[in-house]
Amino acid sequence: MAITPKVLAFAGSTREHSFNKTLVKVAAAGVRAAGGDVTVLDLRDLNMPLYDEDLETRSGLPEGAKRFKDMLRAHQGLLISSPEYNSSLSAVLKNAIDWASRPEPGEPPLSCFVEKVAAIMSASPGALGGLRGLVHLRAILGNIQVLVLPGQQAIVRAHEAFGSDGRLKDPKQQAAVEQLGASVVEVVRKLRA
Residue type, 177: V
Q: What is the mean pLDDT of residues 120-144?
A: 96
pLDDT of residue 193: 85
Domain-by-domain residue ranges, the chain?
A: 6-192
Give pLDDT tens digits for 113-126: 999 999 999 999 99
Does the pLDDT value for residue 149 go beyond 80? yes
- Would you state the CATH architecture of domain 6-192? 3-Layer(aba) Sandwich (3.40)
